[in-house]
Structure 1
Amino acid sequence: MRIGLISDTHGLLREEAVAALQGSERIVHAGDIVDPQILEALARIAPVTAVRGNNDQGAWALALPETAVLQAGAISILVIHDLKTLRAGAAAGHQVVVSGHSHQPKVERRAGVLHVNPGSAGPRRFRLPISLGRLDIDGAEVSAALIHLQVG
């Protein structure tokens, strides 16, 4: 199973991001969506699990949870916008934590849990890359990859 990971679009869904997410069986958006039409566009590719970010406001955003859990076969994925708000011990029982907020793409293991921040696929911030990510799940095995988008 392939799960596309995107975050911090801030109202901009790039063609390059849409192309990179093709083939995903699910998509996770880790917040700061800003425009609900982005979720509609992503849902045309695959079912979407999304959480509310600090820049998501309005009635549509209030309907989004602050955290979400996605079960993908044997893999439990916890989604949160700002990793700093994750309660101590909250990652226990999950194999993956997906977060956004920092705009800094990163994959690392912490206490046996795979942590993935796909970075920002929206407007460029400072000199940070425009990126997204993916999870590849095979039974009880999961791996993550970051995808740096080449944008003009």
Structure 2
Amino acid sequence: MKILVVSDTHGYIDDALLKHAQTADEIWHAGDIGSIDVLYKLQKITKVRAVYGNIDAADVRQETSKNLFFKVQNIPVCITHIGGYPGKYNADFKHYIQTHSPQIIVCGHSHILKVMYDETHSALFINPGAIGIHGFHAARTMITFDIENNTPQNMKVIEYQR
């Protein structure tokens, strides 16, 4: 199963993102979608699991949630927009993690690409950075990986100039 992880589109979608969406079995969007049209375009291509971010309006919030917990091939996954990162999670999300015990944690918001192992919670932490054009980030980034035999593997960072 191929997963595409994105965040912080801020209403921007281009051919590069659409190309990678077409090869994904699922897209995980970590918020600041920016426009309901972005969500709908991605949903026309493949299954989307998304949370809303701090810039998302009521229409996006009605279609998504603040936090999302699900399992893919028996791997528990948590997604939120503003969660922090290992050792620096905000209190609400830290409680959410402790309640759900995910093996994969996905956050957005910072526009900073970060992939690391969270030793405290025994989980893979992923922040895909920002794929949109709004913000301070120097490069637009997203992540792809495969889940095979209940194991994430073949992780790749995809980077584009702003």
**Does TM, scored on the shorter chain, surpass 0.5?**
yes
Unpaired runs of 5+ residues, structure 1, are none
Identity of aligned residues (%): 28
Backbone CA RMSD of aligned residues: 1.8
Equivalent position to 2:106, from 83, 98, 107: 98
2:118 is the alignment partner of 1:110: yes
Distance 2:96 2:54 in 1: 22
Instruction: State how many pairs are aligned.
Output: 151
Deviation digits for residues 24-63 of structure 1, max 9, x if unmatched? 1011111001100101111122111110100001244244
Matched-pair contact (CA < 8 Å) for 1:67–1:80? yes
Aligned partner of 2:13 in structure 1 is 13
2:160 is the alignment partner of 1:149: yes
Distance 1:45 1:132 in 2: 17
Deviation digits for residues 92-142 of structure 1, max 9, x if unmatched? 521101111001111100122101111111015334310111231111211
Runs of 4+ in 1 over 4 A off after TM superposition: none
Structure with greater proportional helix content: 2
TM-score w.r.t. the length of structure 2 is: 0.84
Unpaired runs of 5+ residues, structure 2, are 85-89
Aligned partner of 1:31 in structure 2 is 31
2:146 is the alignment partner of 1:136: yes
Distance 2:74 2:138 in 1: 33
